[in-house]
Amino acid sequence: MIIRRTALTKYGDSVGIISIDLPWKSTNKAHRALAIANLDKDVRIKRAENDDELLQLVQNNVEQGSFVLLDIPIEGCVHGKNFRPVDKALSHQGIWIQPIFSAEDRGKVLKRHIQNLNRGKNLIVQEIYPYAIYKFLAYLKNNGLLPRLSPGKFDTLLGDGFPKFIPPKYKREGVRNKRLENMRYLYSLLVDSNISLKFSTPLAYPDSSYTLNELNSLADEYDACLGAIVGICWAKGSPYAWMAGGAKSGEILVLADEWLKARLEKETQIRRENAISSY
């Protein structure tokens, strides 16, 4: 199992990115949030009440060579297993991932449905993990390193402090005022930084009038936007957009510098060898 960079620019400027944050259970009534983007970082936010609406929105917005990014485990899920090798490798670098068993085969089924929506359009469906993107960007922001995230140069940006670094929690934060503060931190990262996105309708700002459910829905939109960032980097061939893992045992599109890439490569190789030797 390796980490590899995939520069998928052969479709040129027609490439579209649809990043989707969704519940891991199809019966969950939580909204599905979609960030629909292009290579100029223009983003539209859409919401779906259920999977049928989600698939309809994808069908209405995909084009030749679109990247559809799903925040759900897709490949490598084994019944009775809580974590795949790629999950364990990321967790060892402080990128914690929840057990995958609750997702079952939902990601793989959604991928198949999406690929069947528009045959002949070369749709690419890929797994993402917004928290991994958030932690990477927040670490750079806190250390004044975001300007060095240049698409033309691959550099060492992280360091030994990265695994223990905990970015501001914008989900599951029990203190309301603290949660608002942390969500505003992420908001500024999305709209007022070196990697900021552009929104045809302004991205909602988390003010004190929001209910808990509204804050949860807004956090879903922010997660979809984080996915759009890595999708845009991937589509443009940025050296920081990397595929962690392997196609059969699970792979996740992440942002990684030389430091993180080297550690993930080592971790996944060790875990692959251990898995083989256990048979």
Each residue of 95-131: pLDDT tens digit?
999 999 888 899 999 999 999 887 666 889 999 999 9
State residue 10's pLDDT score.
37
CA angle 130–134–135, rounded 5-degree value: 120
Question: Which comes out higher in pLDDT, residue 2 or 150?
Answer: 150
Please state, in angstroms and rounded to a whole number, the distance separating the CA atoms of residues 250 and 13: 29
Please state, in angstroms and rounded to a whole number, the distance separating the CA atoms of residues 213 and 156: 39
| Residue in 224, 212, 138 with CA at minimum distance from that of residue 171 | 212
SS3 track for 169-197: CCCCCCCHHHHHHHHHHHHHHHHCCCCCC
Please state, in angstroms and rounded to a whole number, the distance separating the CA atoms of residues 101 and 119: 30
The band of 21, judged by pLDDT with boundaries at 50, 70 and 90, is very high
Residue 71 φ/ψ, nearest 5 degrees: -85, 70
User: For residue 38, what are its two tokens?
Assistant: 């292009």
State residue 249's pLDDT score.
82
Please state, in angstroms and rounded to a whole number, the distance separating the CA atoms of residues 24 and 74: 11
| Residue in 69, 59, 61, 82 with CA at minimum distance from that of residue 22 | 69
Contacts of 276 (CB under 8 A, 6+ apart): none
Rounded to two decimals, the pTM is 0.90
What ranges do the domains of the chain cover? Answer: 2-277
Lowest mean pLDDT segment, chosen from 88-92, 152-156, 193-197, 261-265: 152-156
Please state, in angstroms and rounded to a whole number, the distance separating the CA atoms of residues 33 and 68: 13
Q: Parallel, antiparallel, or unpaired for β 124-127 and 67-70?
A: parallel
How is residue 75 annotated by DSSP?
S
Q: If 0-12 CB within 10 Å is exposed, 13-18 middle and 19+ buried, where does residue 53 land?
A: middle
pLDDT per position as a tens digit, 223-259: 999 999 999 999 999 999 999 998 888 899 999 999 9
Q: For residue 3, is pLDDT > 60?
A: no
Q: Mean pLDDT over all residues of the chain?
A: 87
State residue 270's pLDDT score.
55
